[in-house]
């Protein structure tokens, strides 16, 4: 876990729909191994201290209510 806080839209643990645009209002799934069991649906403007810089992952079902996608990393 990183001690650096950051936004989901810049995090490799944020997973969004395959055709989604990376934006503050885009909804996706947190796939950090510690947080994934909670199936947290978060926006690009959300953030936390599990932040890891990188490109978001992509998988169908990541923005569902509840999310149905499995982690792709």
Q: Compute the CA torsion angle 42, 19, 65, 52 (nearest 10 deg).
A: -30
pLDDT at residue 3, rounded to an integer? 67
- Mapped onto helix, strand or coil, the DSSP state of residue 46 is coil
Its pTM stands at: 0.92
Structure tokens given for 35: 């947080």
pLDDT at residue 16, rounded to an integer? 98
Residue 19 forms beta bridges with which residues?
A: none
Omega within 30 of 0 (cis) for the link into 62: no
Sequential pLDDT tens for the chain (73 residues) = 556 899 999 999 999 999 999 999 999 999 999 999 999 999 999 999 999 999 999 999 999 999 999 999 8
CA-to-CA separations, 29 to 20, 37, 59, in angstroms, rounded: 12, 11, 9
């Amino acid at each position: 876990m990183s001690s650096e806080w950051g936004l989901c839209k810049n995090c490799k643990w944020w997973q969004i729909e395959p055709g989604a645009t990376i934006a503050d209002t885009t909804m996706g799934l947190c796939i950090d191994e510690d947080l994934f069991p909670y199936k947290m649906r978060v926006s690009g403007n959300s953030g936390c201290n599990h932040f890891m810089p990188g490109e978001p992952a992509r998988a169908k079902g990541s923005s569902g209510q509840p999310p149905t996608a499995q982690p792709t990393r």
